[in-house]
Amino acid sequence: MDKLVVEGGHRLEGSVGIRGAKNAVLPVLASALLTEEPLHVPNAPRLSDVRTMLSVLQELGCATEREESGAVRVQAPAELDHTAGWEHVRRMRGSVCILGPLLARTGQARVSLPGGCVFGVRPIDAHLRGFEALGAKVRIEHGFVVAEAPEGGLRGSELFLGTAFGSTVLGTANVLMAATLAKGRTVIHGAACEPEVEDLGRCLIAMGANIEGLGSPRIVVEGVERLGGATWNVIPDRIEAGTYLIAGAMTGGRVRVEGCRSDHLSVLVERLRDARVPVEVGPDWIESQAYDVRGAERPRATDVTTHAYPGFPTDLQAQWMALMTMADGISVITERIYPDRYMHLPELARLGAEVRRQESTAIVRGSERLSGAPVTASDLRASAALVLAGLVADGETNVHRVYHIDRGYERIEERLEPLGAVIRREKDEEGV
Ligand code: EPU
């Protein structure tokens, strides 16, 4: 196991290029199951979650190839296996999005239930309801979701995908993929509007699907007989971009994230400006400007509430909390997507942050300084928040269990170092 050793107190400065989005590439790769022709993703990021998805696809019989450049090619065979076991699926909840395309293409799917998650129950009931609306019979058997399409295949229908916490991103991806090969028209109400869902839809259109309403809560799909291959560059990762931008803001440095979609990050830019962080924006770049972060211009405590897109993303909540630990005043952070997504809170407290939680709300009293300490990463975004806090804490912060970070950030230390961060990866002798 590796750890990251971060030395605090260095102002970041420079540019960082943004990679393809993790949460776009996972369903896009799953969509390769819908056709026998190859799907090529030139800008697939080098993440362990992408490797896991490729292992899942191999288990189903797909040929997968990773080029030197990072580009990925997947080709599903004529005769697909339809069982995906626990070994790979348990490592990543995102693998659940193979259900829809498998069911549509082979008429059956047997996929291990992904199990719990450190930040809550994360059910998939809405996904399953969606498949049932398309005529499938679905049951849970020995820890597997077993879904079977009716005689003659899935049938288009009108369905609602909302949950108590809003729309579901992967549920929409799953049902959208299933509907592309269903007979007739499917209308998805309460569809997720996240850019990653829209990107998947556009990839499906490039493969020959007939889809309207992407980016809106009402998506209409006219089923087609077959889909073909495609070459698809996924959208830039808005969460990676947001994380590096917040890193710049926390160190008071000038950090430009390049090759991003600034329209996907409007809410973050607005909140940063509310927090008195100077930010400049272009169509495909965003730059935090240098300022006196510990002096008169110290960031102002600014509340955020997470919502579905275009609201403040839950995947940036932990990083925002890291920024707020050094802000002037008290801020209130509310989680509307995952009420229990606060594992970073006790770890930030180990660095001296004053943070308290009341149900789905966290209250942060900004302090003048944080002090380095050993901390343990518990999930991807929580880990990123700990690295950010380490950048400004006095002395050294050891972030253990960095395999969580590698799921969603491509060698984070190699991206931060050229910006002036003092950070290194080491073998973790303590093995925690
Ligand atoms: N929900 C249900 N029933 C369902 C599905 C979801 O009640 O059938 C609830 C969830 O428990 C949650 C809310 O609905 O409270 C939204 O969950 P959603 O289904 O949208 O989450 P997801 O699709 O499983 C994706 C991302 C997450 C991101 C969420 C929310 C991928 C691979 N994962 O998960 O990304 O937090 O959308 O935007 O796309 C991350 O990258 O760190 C990450 C966790």
pLDDT (tens digit per residue) in 349-373 = 999 999 999 999 999 999 999 999 9
Q: What tokens does 271 get?
A: 């909140």
CA distance 24 to 44: 9
- On the question of a common fold for 2-19+236-427 and 22-231, the answer reads yes
Reduced to 3 states (helix: H, G, I; strand: E, B; else coil), residue 121 is coil
CB 75 within 8 A of CB 228: no
CB 97 within 8 A of CB 111: no
Q: How far is CA 66 from CA 35, 270, 307, in A?
A: 19, 38, 35
Query: Which residue type sits at 211?
Result: I
What φ, ψ does residue 108 adopt, rounded to 5°?
-155, 155
CA distance 418 to 346: 30
Q: In terms of Cα–Cα distance, which of 300, 298, 299, 342 is closest to 317?
A: 342
- Tell me what the mean pLDDT of segment 392-416 comes to: 95
pLDDT at position 108 over 90: yes
In angstroms, what is the span from residue 253 Cα to ligand 1's centroid?
A: 32
Task: Tell whether ligand 1 has an atom less than 6 A from the beta carbon of residue 50.
Answer: no
CA distance 3 to 374: 10
pLDDT at 431: 57
- Tell me what the mean pLDDT of segment 271-289 comes to: 98
Q: DSSP letter for 316, please.
A: G
CB 89 within 8 A of CB 48: no
Architecture of domain 22-231: Alpha-beta prism (3.65)
- Tell me what the mean pLDDT of segment 20-41 comes to: 98
CA distance 346 to 214: 39
pLDDT at 33: 98
pLDDT at 428: 87
Task: Tell whether ligand 1 has an atom less than 6 A from the beta carbon of residue 165.
Answer: yes
Q: Which fold has domain 2-19+236-427?
A: UDP-n-acetylglucosamine1-carboxyvinyl-transferase; Chain (3.65.10)
pLDDT at 369: 93
CA distance 294 to 251: 9
**What stretch of H or E contains 193?**
none
pLDDT at 89: 86
pLDDT (tens digit per residue) in 321-349 = 999 999 999 999 999 999 999 999 999 99
- Ramachandran region, residue 302 (left: φ > 0; alpha: ψ -120 to 50; beta: rest): beta
Ligand 1 atom nearest to 337, measured from its CA: 15
pLDDT at 306: 98
Reduced to 3 states (helix: H, G, I; strand: E, B; else coil), residue 287 is strand
Q: What tokens does 100 get?
A: 């829809």
pLDDT (tens digit per residue) in 109-162 = 999 988 656 777 778 999 999 999 999 999 999 999 999 999 999 999 999 999
Please state at what angle helix 380-392 crosses helix 317-324, rounded to 10 degrees.
20
pLDDT at position 432 over 70: no
CA distance 10 to 180: 50
In angstroms, what is the span from residue 168 Cα to ligand 1's centroid?
A: 6
pLDDT at 115: 66
Ligand 1 atom nearest to 119, measured from its CA: 44
pLDDT (tens digit per residue) in 296-317 = 899 999 999 999 999 999 999 9
pLDDT at position 260 over 80: yes
pLDDT at position 86 over 90: no
Ligand 1 atom nearest to 380, measured from its CA: 42
pLDDT at 117: 66
Q: In terms of Cα–Cα distance, which of 303, 271, 297, 254 is closest to 420?
A: 254
Q: How confident is the model at residue 88 (pLDDT cuts 50, 70, 90)?
A: confident
Task: Tell whether ligand 1 has an atom less than 6 A from the beta carbon of residue 136.
Answer: no
pLDDT at 281: 98
CA distance 285 to 269: 11
Handedness of CA 5, 10, 12, 13 (dihedral sign): negative
pTM recorded for the entire structure? 0.97
Q: How confident is the model at residue 87 (pLDDT cuts 50, 70, 90)?
A: confident
pLDDT at 91: 85
Place of tokens 């819908």: 34
Q: What tokens does 116 get?
A: 């719990």
Query: Which residue type sits at 116?
Result: G
Q: In terms of Cα–Cα distance, which of 179, 187, 391 is closest to 293?
A: 391
Sheet holding 422-427, edge to edge: 374-376, 396-400, 2-7, 422-427
Q: In terms of Cα–Cα distance, which of 116, 127, 204 is closest to 162?
A: 127
Structural domain boundaries in the chain: 2-19+236-427, 22-231
pLDDT at 122: 79
Task: Tell whether ligand 1 has an atom less than 6 A from the beta carbon of residue 265.
Answer: no
